[in-house]
């Protein structure tokens, strides 16, 4: 049923032509959107993490700058260098620790240990506690002259017993070794506990719900984690080891393992006092959520559109059936041999255009039939003339060969050369089996013809060839060049007045056309006779006619049969005298183009 019904075929075709592209578009849109979402997410979050890194580094530098007060405050530095020995020194230390504490809002407490006097001071929110006894003090482990950040941990009292201890808080600690800048003598240690609340506020701006963010130090310790249970702990996970082993300052990678599948982006903080890495992890569920929503919306649109298409295709197929059957009736009449049938379909749609093109096609077919008939008559006429001109060709060839051999025996190579040229001319003219030949064979034929003329008019004629290699290979109708050259000797050559000059050219033009020129310096033509010749060239002509033999009109008539109106012959005066005849033909016959088009 489907094979015999245009309606069903049309329905199936339109459905396939609609559903397949839309389905393909949805799939392609999903994958393109997916990749674009990943790229945009990576770019946006990388910029966001970089900005967070900048804010974090600026904040840490502010804390670091606050710890430099032990050097920048001369009075405090003097006390630290000499040791706290009295009430005034103690007051100076309290003032200095207060200044450090007030420099950054999130500072939880400040601890100062003096090496010379083995004393320790702890400032906690308005209270200063000191340990000046002989009991052991808390001495942070810091390389001399260096600054070090201790990872996130719970705050403690540095082995002291303050009067009003602060509640335990989650902090990270800046430890600074205090040394004499000249002697590098160890003077003590400054420890500043900083609440992680500011880092938390920065990091909260870098992530959304469902995402993870970590700030890790070089040992894998969690300075900050979106999950509070990880803070202050060391993460010994494969993804942590992979990131810590990388040397790049920033980057992104896909990770699948350990219960996580998604994208990881990272940015390193490389400061003398901190080697941290900010890591943001986005699971695929969040990453592809937008792409999935878009795919769902496209699917709904597809289903609605499919319903419209099914209804529309049924209606359209029904409307198409009647005109198609009518057109098939016309085609049936054409198949019976009625080439003059008038195909008419009402309307301005494709069927009307198809009917018009059928009419044009039938006209073209009739023209081609007529043209082929005329061309066949012309070819048979030329073949008949060639047969009439053949007087036992084998006898002539053998006779010419015998004469040539006799010429060589009598040491007359010139005569042998002329006989060879004549033999080539006869062989080329009598061979009627090749109506189309490469242009170079036409040129070779003319060379043989002119070899005889040059011998006849020795020192009275010069010939110049300007044939490009590309033009030499173009196929052209046989015997179109020699009549143009012969026309010069019939009507223009006068050796008594001047030395004859003949120029033969061939080249390719733009638009896939071949230009053939024959220029001479002969007698030329008057303006009146030239106009008469041009008028004759514009009139319809018959290649089998007898007018002017195989002259210009005959050449143009045969070219028109092969190339229709795309072939042209132009006759113009040549300066300072003579004529220039130009032939322009397409590189392919029009019939061949039509055949190729029908084959396709």
CA distances from 501 to 421, 465, 504, 518, 570 (A): 21, 11, 10, 11, 20
Q: Please report the sign of the dihedral spanned by the C-alpha atoms of residue 534, residue 539, residue 542, residue 548.
A: negative
Give the pLDDT of residue 382.
64
Secondary structure (H, E, C), 267-307:
EEEEECCEEEEEEEEEEHHHHCHHHHHHHHHHHHHHHHHHH
Q: Residue 530 has which token pair?
A: 């030239």
pLDDT, one tens digit per residue, over 526-557 is: 888 889 888 888 886 554 444 443 478 888 88
Give the integer Cα–Cα distance in Å for 446 and 431. 16
What pairing do the DSSP bridges indicate for beta strands 461-467 and 500-509? parallel
Q: Answer whether residue 128 shows pLDDT above 80.
A: no
Residue-level pLDDT at 7: 67
User: Distance (Å, rounded) from C-alpha 10 to C-alpha 557?
Assistant: 49
Residue 430 confidence (pLDDT)? 72
Supply the Cα-derived Rg of the chain in whole angstroms: 51
| Burial status of residue 441 (CB atoms within 10 A of its CB: 0-12, 13-18, 19 or more) | middle
pLDDT tens figures, 17-44 = 777 887 787 778 777 877 787 788 889 8
**Is 62's pLDDT higher than 70?**
yes
Query: Domains (ranges, CATH) in the chain?
Result: 6-62+289-326 (no CATH), 68-198 (3.30.450.20), 207-287 (3.30.450.20), 331-367 (no CATH), 432-599 (3.30.565.10)
Helix 413-430, helix 350-389: angle, nearest 10:
140
Query: For strand 260-271 and strand 475-477, is the pairing parallel, antiparallel, or unpaired?
Result: unpaired
Residue 175: what pLDDT?
Answer: 92
- The size of the chain, in residues, is 600
Average pLDDT, the chain: 81
CB–CB of 429/479 below 8 Å?
yes
Tokens of 357: 């093109």
Give the pLDDT band (50/70/90) at residue 134.
Answer: low
Q: What does the DSSP 8-state code read for residue 564?
A: G
Q: Encoding tokens for residue 515?
A: 């230009």
Strand partners, 436: 477
pLDDT of 486-527, one tens digit each?
A: 988 888 888 888 888 999 999 999 889 999 999 999 888 888
Q: What is the pLDDT of residue 61?
A: 92
Peptide linkage before 576 cis (omega within 30 of 0): yes
Secondary structure of 180-248 in the HEC alphabet? CCCCCCEEEEEEEEEECHHHHHHHHCCCCCCCEEEEEECCCEEEEECCHHHCCCECCCHHHHHHHHCCC
234-277 residue pLDDT tens: 888 899 999 999 989 999 888 998 888 889 999 999 988 889 99
pLDDT interval class at 126 (50, 70, 90): low
* Cβ atoms < 10 Å from Cβ of 592: 12
Tell me the pLDDT tens digit for each residue of 299-345.
788 778 777 877 877 787 777 777 777 777 777 777 787 666 677 76
Lowest mean pLDDT among 58-67, 96-105, 141-150, 590-599: 590-599
Which of the pair, 177 or 401, is modelled with greater confidence?
177
Where do the H-state alpha helices sit in 68-195? 69-72, 74-82, 87-103
Orientation angle between helical segments 350-389 and 552-563, nearest 10 degrees: 140
In sequence order, what DSSP letters do the residues of 489-540 get, joined into one string?
Answer: HHHT--TTTS-EEEEEEEEEETTTEEEEEEEE-S----HHHHHHHHHHHHS-
How buried is residue 463: exposed, middle or buried, by Cβ count under 10 Å (0-12/13-18/19+)? Answer: middle
Best CA proximity match to 82, nearest among 185, 192, 190: 185
The confidence score (pLDDT) of residue 549 equals 39
Tell me the three state secondary structure of residue 151: strand
Q: Is the pLDDT at 466 greater than 90, yes or no? A: yes
Mean pLDDT of 454-464: 86
pTM above 0.85, yes or no: no
Region for 392 from its dihedrals, namely left if φ exceeds 0, alpha if ψ lies in -120 to 50, beta otherwise = left
pLDDT at 596: 45
The 10s digit of each residue's pLDDT in 376-426 is: 776 666 655 554 454 445 556 666 666 767 677 766 777 777 777 787 777
Q: Which residue has the tokens 């060049």?
A: 481
Q: Please check the confidence at residue 597 and state whether its pLDDT lies above 50.
A: no
Q: Which of 157-166, 255-264, 442-451, 465-474 has the lowest mean pLDDT?
A: 157-166
What percent of the chain lies above the pLDDT cut of 70?
Answer: 86
- Specify the pLDDT at position 214: 92
Residue 475 is given by DSSP the state E
Check residue 595 and give its pLDDT. 45
CA distance 53 to 46: 10
pLDDT surpassing 70 at residue 185: yes
**Alpha carbons 215 and 190: distance in angstroms, whole number:** 24
- The pair of three-digit structure tokens given for residue 63, joined into one six-digit string: 């804390």
Looking at per-residue pLDDT, the higher value among 75 and 373 belongs to 75
């Amino acid at each position: 049923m489907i094979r015999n019904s245009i309606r069903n075929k049309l329905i199936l075709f339109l459905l396939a032509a609609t559903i397949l592209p839309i389905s393909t578009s949805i799939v392609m849109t999903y994958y393109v959107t997916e990749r674009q979402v990943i790229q945009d997410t990576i770019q946006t979050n990388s910029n966001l993490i970089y900005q967070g890194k900048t804010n974090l580094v600026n904040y840490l530098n502010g804390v670091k700058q606050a710890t430099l007060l032990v050097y920048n405050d001369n009075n405090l530095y003097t006390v630290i260098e000499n040791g706290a020995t009295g009430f005034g020194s103690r007051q100076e230390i309290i003032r200095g620790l207060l200044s450090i504490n007030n420099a950054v809002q999130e500072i939880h407490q400040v601890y100062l240990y003096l090496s010379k006097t083995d004393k320790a001071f702890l400032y906690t929110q308005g209270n200063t506690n000191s340990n000046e006894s002989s009991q052991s003090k808390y001495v942070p482990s810091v390389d001399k002259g260096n600054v070090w950040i201790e990872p996130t941990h719970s705050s403690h009292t540095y082995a002291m017993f303050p009067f009003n201890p602060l509640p335990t808080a989650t902090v990270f600690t800046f430890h600074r070794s205090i040394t004499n800048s000249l002697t590098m003598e160890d003077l003590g240690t400054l420890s500043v506990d900083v609440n992680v609340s500011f880092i938390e506020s920065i990091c909260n701006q870098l992530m959304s719900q469902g995402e993870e963010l970590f700030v890790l130090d070089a040992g894998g310790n969690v300075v900050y984690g979106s999950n509070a249970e990880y803070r202050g702990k060391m993460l010994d996970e494969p993804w942590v080891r992979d990131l810590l082993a990388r040397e790049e300052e920033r980057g992104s990678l896909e990770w699948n393992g350990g219960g996580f599948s998604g994208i990881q982006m990272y940015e390193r903080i490389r400061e003398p006092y901190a080697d941290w890495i900010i890591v943001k992890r986005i699971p695929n569920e969040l990453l592809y959520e937008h792409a999935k929503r878009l795919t769902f919306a496209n699917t709904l649109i597809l289903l609605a559109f499919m319903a419209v298409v099914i209804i529309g295709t049924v209606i359209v197929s029904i409307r198409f059936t009647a005109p198609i059957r009518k057109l098939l009736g016309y085609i049936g009449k054409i198949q019976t041999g009625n080439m003059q049938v008038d195909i008419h379909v009402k309307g301005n749609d494709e069927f009307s255009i198809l009917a018009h093109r059928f009419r044009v096609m039938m006209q073209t077919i009739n023209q081609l039939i007529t043209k082929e008939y005329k061309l066949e008559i012309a070819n048979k006429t030329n073949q008949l003339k060639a047969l009439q001109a053949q007087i036992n060709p084998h006898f002539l060839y053998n006779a010419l060969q015998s004469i040539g051999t006799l010429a060589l025996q009598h040491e007359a190579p010139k005569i042998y050369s002329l006989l060879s040229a004549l033999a080539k001319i006869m062989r080329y003219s009598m061979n009627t089996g090749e109506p189309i030949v490469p242009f170079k064979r036409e040129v070779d034929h003319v060379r043989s013809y002119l070899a005889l003329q040059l011998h006849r008019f020795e020192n009275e004629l010069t010939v110049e060839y300007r044939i490009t290699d590309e033009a030499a290979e173009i196929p052209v109708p046989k015997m179109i060049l020699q009549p143009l050259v012969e026309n010069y000797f019939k009507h223009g050559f006068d050796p008594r007045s001047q030395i004859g000059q003949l120029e033969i050219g061939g080249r390719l033009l733009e638009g896939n056309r071949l230009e053939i020129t024959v220029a001479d310096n002969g007698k030329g033509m008057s303006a009146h006779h030239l106009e008469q010749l041009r008028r004759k060239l514009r009139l319809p002509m018959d290649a089998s006619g007898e007018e002017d033999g195989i002259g210009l009109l005959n050449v143009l008539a045969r070219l028109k049969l092969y190339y229709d109106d795309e072939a042209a012959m132009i006759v113009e005066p040549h300066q300072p005298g003579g004529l220039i005849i130009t032939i322009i033909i397409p590189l392919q016959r029009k019939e061949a183009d039509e055949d190729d088009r029908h084959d396709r």
